[in-house]
């Protein structure tokens, strides 16, 4: 199309004519949604996904507790490395990995600022590094474990380990709500994109775009919660009708539910090896 | 526990409903929700016989759902309101039983079926109730219930991945897994396409016929009531006005009209063309037989009494869709194809209905036209602008898209705030005057300060329309504007759409409601498999059986009768057929 034609698009200010939308705004929301679902519903497989859910929960308990008994940076570093390896082997996916890297970069940046600008000594850096390694190890193994368990397996494992039934249900229901919340959020954001004030350019360092996004996020909260609450009313009634509360009181369903769980040699091996590695790391240090 | 009925006895003769034992016996039931100012049920006396297929009809807010929730004990065990009177289900007083105990006998499928699914996978959700009630054979029960509704192949699918129709069947299977003797289904046809609604009703009818399950449905669609129900309960002001066999019930036209229930068109036709006929027709076939047996059957009227509404294709285009292919990423990483090389142009002055089965791509096309989504391939131009080159916010000066559920349109804490959002955001001069004018036009000034979510269904639709009006778009896109509305609210919306024509250059409505298509549209675009299957006017569409069956559309009864009588073009309204018969 030549610039001489006078369609409304051409009469707009030059900055509008030059811009070309990539569709990234909508696509990225969809990608995050799919990625969340892949994570929540363990669709990628990985070495933990094949194991008995009880073994995975126990493995998680061992790994999450391991880094808390020392201040030795070498031990903590080793645990961190192992946890990172486990998370990758469990296929945690680009979204979680990206978020993790982002938080790491933030942490390191914070340490640098602390040392260079505030003039702290090396001691404070060591202290912060210890805390960082411990927390990161825990978050990595959490990701590895929960990416490998779908809500079904988590409920079964919690039930098998004698956690209160309501806890197991709360976890699986939480998973059930993830797609609902994401859908609601997407619709509301779309509403703001259509009906809200149009962006007047990004502004210096994108401050205008940022304020706009921030404002939408805050304003989306109210309709999001109300719409979701309205939906859950049916869910609560359905639970009542289908005997969930009654079963929680009687506790009869537990045996039936768990009849399919099988503890295999592989599960024992996983736990044995994990404990051995943890002990070995402590021993060598 | 009483002995269960013989579950597998296909074709077992069930006693005529009137003489059979009662499935439900309600005596003097009055109920008020906690905190409510009025009674929702007022002195209800009702007896539902075992083996009956009952349709509960009534306007929005007449107490239908509350009554049905009294059958499975949600009222009063879950909703602890004020209750007097008694409800007996299969001879047991619900006052002394828990909801779960009653749940074994009374299956309940909620209107909002999507949120009834509480477990991750289909198989797990179907087996949920038997598992909770401690049935050792819960897995077999789940498998049986799924097999009965042809769901076995999607047993391991996650429930949030299902289409609306599949979700509905899963909810039904979940209720059936307990082999209940009474099944309550709240508005089975509200959100699915006509073909799927029929399929669901066929399942219910089979359960009723072959297994003797007593079925209670809450239904707005009189055609479905006429075809499947054996008796009808009319609810008005919290109490049944009557409970009659279906033929007699649907003959009480005045009572139904008073309660905002549309009379099936076949009955309307029979009453107007064959007044005093002893046996009112319930189906299109019966009506056709009746009308052709008249002394002067309305057959020879093939002359075109009404010219098909003139197409305005040579008017300037408001929007063009050229070679658009679009799809979504799936969880497995692939990409589905929803629209496949679609071409379409929309012109000034058109009223377009977009029809097609669930999943045909209607909503996707609307989102593309609104610029919310960009096509993977091809171009969408709206008001002369390529949607790739302008943001959705800028495009919304020309296009407005109203999503299917009006509550999702409410972003502010009052209706007025929502209506004002767009004009204020654009700093439109006189925004306040405009907002007040629009509120006045949709008759919502009285409730303008309330949160939109607290309004009734009909008011919510009008509020959503008000949002659109205040945006003063050239192209208005609406997704299912009439689903689950009673007759009066529906007529309201249709009248308002007709009135909009003066302000909006082109309106596109995606819908399953063929009455809306017949009454309002002048152009119908049929989507199927991501392409345009047909692009025509309603009368031509309703006279094209191949297209109708391929796109799973069911024309209004009057058009079916007209087609069966050999009328061309087929009539679109009862008035038109009667007019042409004279």
Say which CATH number the domain at B189 has: 3.40.50.300
- Same-domain check for residues B93 and B167: yes
In a domain, B573, yes or no: no
Same domain, B249 and B335: no
Residue B322 contacts A, CB cutoff 8 Å: no
Cβ within 8 Å, pair A237-B421: no
CB contacts of B332 in chain A (<8 Å) are 43
Restricting to B residues 370-409, those with a Cβ less than 8 Å away from any Cβ of A are 370, 372-374, 383-394, 396, 400-401, 403, 407-409
- Give φ, ψ of B163 to 5 degrees: -75, 170
- Same domain? For B258 and B329 the reply is no
Say whether B117 sits in a helix, a strand or coil.
coil
Nearest to A197 among B330, B401, B425 (CB): B425
User: Is residue B190 within 8 Å of B509, Cβ to Cβ?
Assistant: no
B387 & B531 share domain:
yes
B546 occurs within a structural domain:
no
Assess B411–A contact: CB distance below 8 Å, yes or no. yes
CB B169 within 8 A of CB B163: no
Mutate to test the interface with A, among B391, B399, B402 (most CBs of A within 10 A): B391
* Same structural domain, B242 and B326: no
Question: Is B417 domain-assigned?
Answer: yes
Q: Which two tokens stand for residue A37?
A: 């679902």
Contact A152 B120 (CB under 8 A): yes
Q: CA-CA-CA-CA torsion for B180, B184, B187, B189, nearest 10 degrees?
A: 30
Together in a domain, B501 and B421: yes
Per-residue confidence of chain B (582 residues) as pLDDT tens digits? 343 333 333 333 344 445 578 999 999 999 999 888 889 999 999 999 999 999 999 887 788 999 999 998 998 888 888 999 999 999 999 988 888 888 889 999 998 888 899 887 899 899 989 988 888 888 999 999 999 888 898 888 888 878 777 888 899 999 999 999 999 999 888 777 777 788 889 999 999 999 999 999 999 888 899 999 999 999 998 999 999 999 999 989 889 888 888 888 999 999 888 888 888 899 999 999 998 888 766 554 544 444 444 445 677 889 999 999 988 777 777 778 889 999 999 998 899 999 988 778 888 899 999 988 888 889 999 988 998 888 888 888 889 999 888 888 899 889 999 999 999 888 888 889 999 988 988 888 988 998 888 888 788 888 998 998 898 888 999 998 887 777 778 888 888 888 777 778 899 999 988 889 998 999 999 999 889 999 999 999 999 999 998 988 889 999 999 999 888 888 999 988 888 877
pLDDT reported for residue A249: 62
User: Does one domain contain both B254 and B334?
Assistant: no
Q: Do B387 and A21 touch (CB under 8 A)?
A: yes
Residues B256 and B350 in one domain: no
Q: Does residue B172 sit within a domain? A: yes
* Residue B135 shares a structural domain with residue B67: yes
> Is residue B541 situated within a structural domain?
no
Q: What is the ipTM of this complex?
A: 0.78
- Using a CB-CB distance cutoff of 8 angstroms, which residues of chain A are in contact with residue B127? none
Taking CB atoms and an 8 Å limit, are A257 and B131 in contact across chains?
yes
Record: contact A16-B133, CB cut-off 8 A: no
Inside any domain, residue B135: yes
Residues B339 and B208 in one domain: no
Domain residues for the domain of B430 are 318-536
Please give, rounded to a whole number of angstroms, the shortest distance from the CA of B206 to a CA of chain A: 23
A255 burial (CB, 10 Å; 0-12 / 13-18 / 19+) is exposed
Whether residue B213 is contained in a domain is answered as: yes
Structural domain total, chain B: 2
Structure tokens at A201: 């350019």
β-bridge mates for residue B217, sequence order:
B55, B185
> What letter would DSSP give residue B90?
T
Question: Residue A9: which of B328, B386, B396 has the nearest Cβ?
Answer: B386
Among candidate residues B206, B238, B273, the one where a domain is terminated: B273
> Where among B258, B273, B288 does a domain terminate?
B273
pLDDT (0 to 100) of residue A33: 78
- All residues at 6 or more sequence positions from B2 whose CB lies less than 8 Å from its CB, including other chains: B90, B91, B92
The nearest alpha carbon in chain A to B402 belongs to A191
Task: Identify the segments of chain A with pLDDT beneath 70.
Answer: 1-27, 120, 202-203, 247-253
Between A31, A152, A241, which is nearest B72 by CB?
A241
Instruction: Say if CB B368 and CB A190 are below 8 A apart.
Output: no
CA distance A235 to chain B (A): 5
Q: Do A21 and B401 touch (CB under 8 A)?
A: no
Instruction: Tell me, yes or no, whether B119 lies in a domain.
Output: yes
Same domain for B412 and B344? yes
Query: Which residues neighbour B25 within 8 Å (Cβ) at sequence distance 6 or greater?
Result: B46, B47, B48, B87, B88
Residue from B100, B102, B137 to probe the interface with A (highest A Cβ count within 10 Å): B100
Same-domain check for residues B58 and B131: yes
Query: Which residue, among B207, B199, B210, B208, has the nearest Cα to B169 in the 3D structure?
Result: B199
Instruction: Encode pLDDT of B282-315 as tens digits.
Output: 999 999 999 888 876 655 454 444 444 444 567 7
């Amino acid at each position: 199309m030549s610039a001489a034609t006078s369609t409304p698009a051409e009469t707009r200010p030059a900055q509008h004519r030059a811009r070309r939308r990539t569709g990234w705004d909508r696509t990225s929301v969809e990608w995050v949604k799919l990625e969340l679902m892949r994570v929540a519903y363990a669709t990628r497989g990985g070495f933990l996904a094949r194991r008995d859910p009880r073994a995975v929960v126990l493995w998680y308990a061992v790994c999450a507790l391991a880094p808390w008994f020392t201040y030795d940076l070498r031990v903590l570093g080793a645990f961190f490395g192992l946890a990172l390896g486990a998370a990758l082997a469990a296929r945690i996916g680009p979204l979680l990995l990206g978020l993790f890297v982002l938080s790491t970069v933030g942490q390191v940046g914070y340490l640098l600022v602390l040392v260079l600008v505030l003039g702290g000594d090396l001691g404070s850096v060591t202290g912060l590094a210890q805390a960082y390694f411990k927390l990161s190890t825990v978050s990595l193994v959490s990701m590895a474990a929960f990416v490998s368990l779908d809500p079904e397996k988590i409920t079964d494992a919690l039930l098998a380990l004698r956690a209160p039934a309501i806890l197991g249900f709360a976890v699986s229901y939480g998973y059930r709500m993830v797609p609902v919340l994401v859908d609601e959020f997407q619709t509301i954001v779309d509403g703001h994109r259509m009906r809200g004030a149009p962006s007047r350019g990004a502004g210096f360092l994108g401050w205008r775009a940022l304020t706009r996004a921030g404002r939408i996020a805050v304003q989306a909260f109210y309709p999001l919660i109300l719409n979701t609450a309205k939906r859950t009313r049916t869910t609560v009634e359905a639970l009542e009708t289908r005997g969930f509360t009654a079963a929680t009181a009687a506790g009869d369903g537990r045996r039936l539910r768990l009849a399919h769980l099988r503890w295999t040699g592989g599960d024992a091996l996983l736990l044995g090896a994990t404990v051995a590695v943890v002990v070995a790391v402590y021993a060598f240090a | 526990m009483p002995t269960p009925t013989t579950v597998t006895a296909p074709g077992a003769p069930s006693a005529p409903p009137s003489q059979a034992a009662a499935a439900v016996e309600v005596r003097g039931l009055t109920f008020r929700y906690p905190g409510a100012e009025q009674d929702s049920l007022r002195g209800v006396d009702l007896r539902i016989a075992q083996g009956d297929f009952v349709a509960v009809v009534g306007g929005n807010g007449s107490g239908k759902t509350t009554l049905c929730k009294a059958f499975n004990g949600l009222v009063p065990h879950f909703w602890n309101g004020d209750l007097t009177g008694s409800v007996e289900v299969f001879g047991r007083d619900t006052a002394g039983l828990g909801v779960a105990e009653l749940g074994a006998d009374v299956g309940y499928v909620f209107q909002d079926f999507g949120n009834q699914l509480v477990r991750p996978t289909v198989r797990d959700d179907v087996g949920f109730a038997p598992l909770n009630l401690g049935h050792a054979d819960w897995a077999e029960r789940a498998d049986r219930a799924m097999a009965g509704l042809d769901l076995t192949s999607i047993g391991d699918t996650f429930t949030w991945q299902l289409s609306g129709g599949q979700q509905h069947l899963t909810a039904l299977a979940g209720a059936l897994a307990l082999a209940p003797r009474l099944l309550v289904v709240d508005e089975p046809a509200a959100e699915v396409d006509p073909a799927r609604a029929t399929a669901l009703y066929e399942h219910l009818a089979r359960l009723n016929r072959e297994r003797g399950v007593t079925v209670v449905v809450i239904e707005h669609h009189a055609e479905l009531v006429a075809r499947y129900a054996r008796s009808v309960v009319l609810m008005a002001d919290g109490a049944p006005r009557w409970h009659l066999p279906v033929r007699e019930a649907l003959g009480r036209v005045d009572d139904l009209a008073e309660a905002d229930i549309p009379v099936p068109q076949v009955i309307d036709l029979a009453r107007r063309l064959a007044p005093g006929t002893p046996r009112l027709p319930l189906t299109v076939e019966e009506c056709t037989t009746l009308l052709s047996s008249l002394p002067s059957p309305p057959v020879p009227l093939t002359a075109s009494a009404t010219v098909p509404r003139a197409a305005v294709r040579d008017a300037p285009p408001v929007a063009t869709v050229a070679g658009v292919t679009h799809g979504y990423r799936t969880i497995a990483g692939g990409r589905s194809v929803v629209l496949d090389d679609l071409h379409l142009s929309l012109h000034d002055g058109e009223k377009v209905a977009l029809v097609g089965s669930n999943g045909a791509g209607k909503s996707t096309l609307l989102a593309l036209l609104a610029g919310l989504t960009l096509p993977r391939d091809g171009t969408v131009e709206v008001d002369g602008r390529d949607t790739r080159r302008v943001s959705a916010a800028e495009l919304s000066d020309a296009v407005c898209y109203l999503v299917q559920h009006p509550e999702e349109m409410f972003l502010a804490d009052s209706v007025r705030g929502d209506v004002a959002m767009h004009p204020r955001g654009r700093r439109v001069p006189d925004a306040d005057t405009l907002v007040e004018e629009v509120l006045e036009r949709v008759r919502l000034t009285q409730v303008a300060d309330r949160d939109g979510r607290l309004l009734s269904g009909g008011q919510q639709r009008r509020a959503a329309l008000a949002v659109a009006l205040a945006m003063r778009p050239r192209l208005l896109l609406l997704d299912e504007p009439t689903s689950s509305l009673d007759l009066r609210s529906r007529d309201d919306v249709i009248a308002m759409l007709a009135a909009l024509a003066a302000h909006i250059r082109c309106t596109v409505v995606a819908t399953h409601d063929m009455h809306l298509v017949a009454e309002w549209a002048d152009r119908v675009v049929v989507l199927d498999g991501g392409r345009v299957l047909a692009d025509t006017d309603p009368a031509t569409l309703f006279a094209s059986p191949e297209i109708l069956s391929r796109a799973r559309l069911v024309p209004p009864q009057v058009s079916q009768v007209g087609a069966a009588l050999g009328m061309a073009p087929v009539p679109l309204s009862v008035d038109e057929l009667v007019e042409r018969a004279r």
